Structure 1
């Protein structure tokens, strides 16, 4: 890898880290960048996953104020995310990608629309109901489990799916849902990255260049979410997710 390739990946990492920590769309910038510097698709995918560990570090670091009080909930849900990330990584190493490629545009399009749809009902009542009803807890855990499997497998826009889910199961604000997304996706991604480090063709020079950019960009993202108007930001995230869903749909079905 040349110095110009490294500089290009650093810049792509900053953009990816920023968009990833805000909307879970880091791979829009990072995965194509790895392809453009000459990495084959599978190598680019696993290299991208490993580099996203730096994105998780910066995102969680920047999200600390919003994570206050969420410790008990995260302790319950993070083991689910970790197991799912491992399953996703194992699937990538053992199965073809066609099945996921065809269903992801549909899931992503639905999640992007859900982000823009206002929630009904009192947020506090929703949280209370969430904590009381075992059925809701199990459904939430199952949904996070499935999303994190996809996150460990490929991960493009898995964060959008998580934000849509979390906004509709009791997280009071976009900033809190985004902070939880950063932790959950970070755990699933880190587990997958550990597996790829031993069993997949990771391109380590690209990891360090891209990862450094991701660390810088992802540290800034939560600050943007914290201070930007939630309504317009939701619309922006929704629009970006829909655009990616269309692009992935064209690629999958063409």
Structure 2
């Protein structure tokens, strides 16, 4: 690997760490970068997942204030992310790469639609739940299986996992967008970390690539926390939808 390639991969890691902390979809930067430098697709995918884990940890640390009082919620939903992440990582190793070609763009499109319509849908969900005693702190009943399903997708590939999680949390859990971002960062970290452990155990990792992405993504995680925290809810929702649409265009092109 040339010094220029190493610098570009590190910079891609910075960009991915920033985007992952605010929204998700950083994989859409690092994965194509690795492919452009000749890294085989499966090796690129697993090495990228391993490399982005430190950046996810950085993003969680950057949003630690918004996690205050969310311990029980994170523990409950985190179990869904862990189970989903393991299942998704195993699917990546067992299934042909064409298996999710149809469902992945559909999931991203659904996530973008739910983010855009989130406030209206959330009001309807909240009104319905209020008639039954209100929304529990961990969300309505379908939030846990939906988070688990997002974890399966995240363990398999991961691009726009954050868009899906923000849609699920924004509709099914009564809280602010910034606190949802903090929760999303923890859930995405759990998915990436458990998938990375599976890959380290059974797949070939390019440790140079993973290390460069890790270095960049840690820096990006702190940048993302600073930028994301200053975004008002409506603008944050617009950023999430925009990133999701870009992800959709890239994947179907």
Q: TM-score, normalised by structure 2?
A: 0.91
- Trace 1:1-254 onto structure 2 (pairs within 5 A): 1-120=1-120, 121=123, 129-131=134-136, 136-137=140-141, 139-250=142-253
Separation in 2 of the partners of 1:17 and 1:151? 15
User: Given the superposition, is the C-alpha separation of residues 66 and 112 from structure 1 closer, same or farther in structure 2, using an over 3 Å criterion?
Assistant: same
Unaligned runs of 5+ in 1: none
Indicate if the aligned counterparts of 1:80 and 1:145 stay in contact, CA closer than 8 A. yes
1:196 shift after superposition: 0.4
Separation in 2 of the partners of 1:141 and 1:149? 13
Find the residue that maps to 1:25 and give its secondary structure.
coil
Separation in 2 of the partners of 1:62 and 1:241? 23
Separation in 1 of the partners of 2:158 and 2:9? 18
Separation in 2 of the partners of 1:118 and 1:168? 5
- Shifted more, 112-121 versus 3-12: the winner is 112-121
Q: TM-score, normalised by structure 1?
A: 0.91
| 1:87-110 CA-partner distances (Å, limit 9, x unpaired) | 111111111122212111111012
User: Given the superposition, is the C-alpha separation of residues 94 and 191 from structure 1 closer, same or farther in structure 2, using an over 3 Å criterion?
Assistant: same
Indicate if the aligned counterparts of 1:14 and 1:213 stay in contact, CA closer than 8 A. yes
Indicate if the aligned counterparts of 2:72 and 2:138 stay in contact, CA closer than 8 A. no
Aligned length: 248
Separation in 1 of the partners of 2:227 and 2:84? 29
Indicate if the aligned counterparts of 1:16 and 1:29 stay in contact, CA closer than 8 A. yes
User: Given the superposition, is the C-alpha separation of residues 50 and 223 from structure 1 closer, same or farther in structure 2, using an over 3 Å criterion?
Assistant: same
Separation in 2 of the partners of 1:211 and 1:101? 27
1:132 shift after superposition: 8.1
1:33 shift after superposition: 1.2
Indicate if the aligned counterparts of 2:109 and 2:245 stay in contact, CA closer than 8 A. yes
